[in-house]
Amino acid sequence: MNHLISIADLSRQDIEGILDTRTAGIVPGGGSVALVFHEPSTRTRFSFTQAIHQVGLHPVDLNPGSSSEQKGETTIDTCRNLAWAGARALVLRTSLTGLPHKVAESVDIPVINAGDGTNEHPTQALGDALALRRHFGGIEGLTVAIVGDVFFSRVARSNAHLLTKLGASVRLVSPDAKDVPSNVPRSMSTSKLEEGLAGADVVMVLRWQDERHPSDRHHKAYYRIDEYALSAAPGHAVVMHPGPVNRDVEVTAEVIDGPRSLIRHQVSAGVEARTKLLRRLLSP
Residues within the interface to ligand CP (CB under 6 A) = 41-44, 115, 121, 124, 242-244
- Using the minimum distance from each CB to ligand CP, give the nearer residue, 42 or 68: 42
**Least gap, CB of 242 to ligand CP (angstroms):** 4
- Using the minimum distance from each CB to ligand CP, give the nearer residue, 30 or 244: 244
Which of 36, 16, 86 is CA-nearest to residue 57?
86
Which of 104, 79, 128 is CA-nearest to residue 1?
104
Which residue(s) pair with 170 in the sheet? 144
Q: What are phi and psi of 149, to 5 degrees?
A: -85, 60
- Using the minimum distance from each CB to ligand CP, give the nearer residue, 80 or 93: 93
- Using the minimum distance from each CB to ligand CP, give the nearer residue, 107 or 269: 269
CA dist 156 and 147 (Å) reads 9
CA dist 199 and 234 (Å) reads 6
- Using the minimum distance from each CB to ligand CP, give the nearer residue, 42 or 283: 42
Which of 90, 17, 109 is CA-nearest to residue 48?
90
User: Which amino acid, one-letter code, is at 189?
Assistant: S
Maximum separation of any 2 CA atoms in the chain, in Å: 56
CA–CA–CA angle 255, 259, 261 (5° rounding): 55
CA dist 269 and 243 (Å) reads 13
> 172, 116 in Cβ contact below 8 A?
no
**Least gap, CB of 44 to ligand CP (angstroms):** 3
- Using the minimum distance from each CB to ligand CP, give the nearer residue, 86 or 244: 244
- Using the minimum distance from each CB to ligand CP, give the nearer residue, 115 or 196: 115
**Least gap, CB of 121 to ligand CP (angstroms):** 6
**Least gap, CB of 129 to ligand CP (angstroms):** 14
**Least gap, CB of 267 to ligand CP (angstroms):** 9
10 Å CB burial of residue 30 (0-12, 13-18, 19+) is exposed
**Least gap, CB of 95 to ligand CP (angstroms):** 12
**Least gap, CB of 244 to ligand CP (angstroms):** 5
10 Å CB burial of residue 9 (0-12, 13-18, 19+) is middle
